[in-house]
Structures are given as C-alpha cells and as structure tokens.
Amino acid sequence: MTTVGDEMHALVERLYPLCRSITGDGVRRTLEIVGETIPLQVHEVPTGTEVLDWTVPKEWNIRDAYVKDPSGAKVIDFAESNLHVVGYSVPVSATMSLDELRGHLHTLPAQPDLVPYRTSYYRETWGFCLRENTLAALPGGQYEVLIDSTLADGHLTYGEHVVEGEVADEVLISCHVCHPSLANDNLAGIAVATRLAARLAENRPHFTYRFLFMPGTIGAITWLALNRHRVDRVRAGLVLACAGDSGALTYKRSRRGDAEIDRAVEQVLRTSGREHTVIDFSPYGYDERQFCSPGFNLGVGSLTRTPYAGYPEYHTSGDNPDFVSPEAMTDTLETCWEVLRVLEANRRYTNLSPYGEPQLGRRGLYGSLGGRSDTQQAQMAMLWVLNLSDGDHDLLDVAERSGLPFPLVAEAAAALHDAGLLKE
C-alpha cells in the first residue's frame, strides 16, 4: 500500500529535475505542482520593488547550457543536471581556452565525484559546476561554451496556502523553493509542508495556519514587507528544511528563546522519545533569521533533521532523492503534527475554586478515571492544572513544571473546564 511517506517521496522525485532559483519559471512550475494537492494563492512581485532594505531582483530563466571539449563532446551538460550551471549565470556564447575557462569552473576537490551547488544572485557573472574528476581529465585546447539564459525585469514568485481557523491568530509554516536539484535541502521540506497543510484542512483548527512557499531570504523579506500589517497576528511559526535525511531531529529556537513554539517543540521532542538536539538561535541559517530580525522578533523557530551544512551531501549532487527517505519525512511530518496539536490545545485558565483543593470526587472527576492504566498520572495532572491555573500560567507551563505529558495535561484541563472548575 502507498503510504504518506511514499507520497511525499514521489513529490520529491517529481520536483527534483526542475531548475529553481530565487525567481523564474522553475519556481512557478514547482508551485503549480504543489497546487495540485493544496490550493495556492500565487503572488508575483515585480522587479525593482523595494522590500525593506532590499530590492526585488531581475528574473532569471535558463533553457540550455553546456561546455564542449576540443573534439566537440559535451563534458558539462545542463541537461544532465541543473547543478552544472551557477545559478543566475548571465548568457554566454563563446570559444575559449581551457585556461580561460578554468576561472569559471567550480569543483569540490575533497569530494571529487560530486557536483557542487553554486549561485551568484546579486553579481552578474557566469560559471559551471562539475566533478573534480571530470575537471582533472579535461584536455588542453579550445572549448565551446554556451549558457542560454535570460536575466531581465520580471517578477519574484511565491505561494501561500491558508487554512482558516476559529480565530485570526496565525501560525506560520514556511519552506524555501529556490534550490534546483537538492532533495533534502529544499524538496523534503516542501513535501512535508504540503502534506501537513492537507491534513490540517481535514478539520477546522482553532488557529489560522498560513503556509508560505517562498525563495529563501528575499522571499521572506518580501513577504514581511508586504504583510507588516498582519505580523502582529503571528502567534508562532516553524521554518522547515532538511526534512528527509536519516539524521536525528534538530530544533533551533527562536530569537526569544522561550516563545510558545520553542516550548511546544521541546515538549514534544522531550516526551516523544525521539533522538533530537535543541540549539539556541543564531542569526545565520534559513528564514527564521528574517522572521526573528529584531524589528519583527516573531516566535518562529526552525525544524530540520541534520542541520544545514551538517552532512557531506549538503549543497551537492549527493543530495538526491535516494538521500531522503519516506520514513524520515514521515517522522518529520508526525513531529510537526504533534507540535501543532500542542499549540492548538495550549490555553491559559483561571481556577474558579482557588481556595483550597476543590472536591473532585463529587463532581465525578476521580470516578471517570477508573480502569485507566495512567490513573495516578491523570489525577496528578488535574491537581497540577488546578494549582497553576492562576491566569499567569498556560498548560505548557503545567507540563514543564510537573513533568507530565502535555496531552494528559490538556485532557485534565478539558475535564476540569467541563466540570465548571476552570475559566479560559
């Protein structure tokens, strides 16, 4: 039977051949394919638009590129892999010596069988990426060089999917769509976000969820510039990347360090038994650094498996569909789902019978626990919720201080609320 993990992996494989960059038709086609699963509102922001301290750049598209050796054989071919061309390379049609060409060639001497990923977004130049072993075997002579690309006024493209909730407070889920053929650092995050959005839409959530599919850095800056009027609605957020490798989960805290999303993710990771690492915020990484810039300071963290630059295949041709697995993406998806369930259930209550411990037995609250394997824990959860429901503590505070699983605490709070002992 096809599993959710298999479906996510199939999406990665389908998106993998597309040549994406921070602008261009590769991004549009990627959003079209995502839009077959979840409806997307696609935004086109014109070149030259001022966005915070940045300007939307020219749009880049590429049709073909190659290098032919003196015998006429293609030794570098864009059709074989879009990683072979430096992103945003300007058009080139020339014949030159190998010595002249070398200044435009990029390899990984320490990984001679892999093609690196390189870009030059904001400096007009051109280049090719290839295996070190290929470069070492190139003969002297004249080489034919072609890059059939355009760099002209156009648009920056990004997509939004909104799952309407009962309240206007929003949770952001963001992933980047600007990398070419890189399965983990790009596509696995897209696949997980798409499936998470589809699952959320099956039941109306309490919060409104906004999924952002954007080019890295400039996309987040553009969204923030165009949505400054709504950022005060953002209650929490997660940036997803590197979501499909075999490494343990890594959570990077928001700039605040103790935001609700930080506490929710850490609660889930701590009680799930999953191997994981939690690291403090730093202003380098993915788009959490834009959402957490001091002027916005949103409660947005980043969830990955192995962090960026933490695995040898990072930003190389080794980051292919075989590098990511349905099982790892499923684990990332389920972790995200558990985090959202915590956010959905987290409330702040006031105890309506705060003078002494209220009698739970006559309200049927103790009796309702009979036969449960966790009866003692459930009773303790009720006592902890009652004691900390002073208007200053939320249910995450209760779970953290008591050491009890959050779902048990939330269940206890719901029972106490229904019995008239708590007010939200």
Q: Which residues are annotated as a binding site for Zn(2+)?
A: 179, 185, 315
The answer to whether 162 and 200 have CB atoms below 8 angstroms apart is: no
Rounded Cα distance between 143 and 77, Å, is: 13
Q: Give me the CATH topology for the region 348-423.
A: Arc Repressor Mutant, subunit A (1.10.10)
Rounded Cα distance between 384 and 70, Å, is: 78
- pTM for the model: 0.95
- Taking alpha carbons only, the member of 169, 398, 160, 161 closest to residue 299 is 169
pLDDT single digits (tens) 303-350: 999 998 999 999 999 999 999 999 999 999 999 999 999 999 999 999
pLDDT of residue 362: 86
Distances (CA, A) of 142 to 67, 89, 113, 134: 10, 21, 25, 16
Residue 367's Cβ-count burial label (10 Å; 0-12, 13-18, 19+) is exposed
Mapped onto helix, strand or coil, the DSSP state of residue 79 is coil
Res. 58 pLDDT band, cuts 50 70 90: very high
pLDDT single digits (tens) 370-404: 555 567 888 899 999 999 999 999 999 999 999 99
Superfamily covering domain 60-152: Domain of unknown function DUF2172 (3.50.30.90)
Res. 271 pLDDT band, cuts 50 70 90: very high
> No. of H helices and E strands in the chain?
12, 19
Q: Are strands 92-97 and 142-152 parallel, antiparallel or unpaired?
A: antiparallel
pLDDT of residue 373: 58
DSSP string, 338-376: HHHHHHHH--EEEESS-SS----GGGTTTGGGTT-TTHH
Distances (CA, A) of 81 to 17, 317, 324: 8, 8, 18
Q: Which residue has the tokens 């059939």?
A: 148
**Cα of 109 vs its chain's centroid, Å:** 30
DSSP 137: T
Q: Give me the CATH topology for the region 4-57+155-345.
A: Aminopeptidase (3.40.630)
Query: Where along the chain do its domains lie?
Result: 4-57+155-345, 60-152, 348-423
Residue 203's Cβ-count burial label (10 Å; 0-12, 13-18, 19+) is exposed
Provide mean pLDDT across the span 109-137: 97
Q: Which residues are annotated as a binding site?
A: 179, 185, 315
DSSP 134: H
pLDDT single digits (tens) 168-217: 999 999 999 999 999 999 999 999 999 999 999 998 999 999 999 999 99
**Cα of 34 vs its chain's centroid, Å:** 14
Mapped onto helix, strand or coil, the DSSP state of residue 257 is coil
pLDDT at 281 over 90: yes
The token pair that represents 133 in the structure block? 């072993």
Q: What percent of the chain has pLDDT over 90?
A: 94
Mapped onto helix, strand or coil, the DSSP state of residue 256 is coil
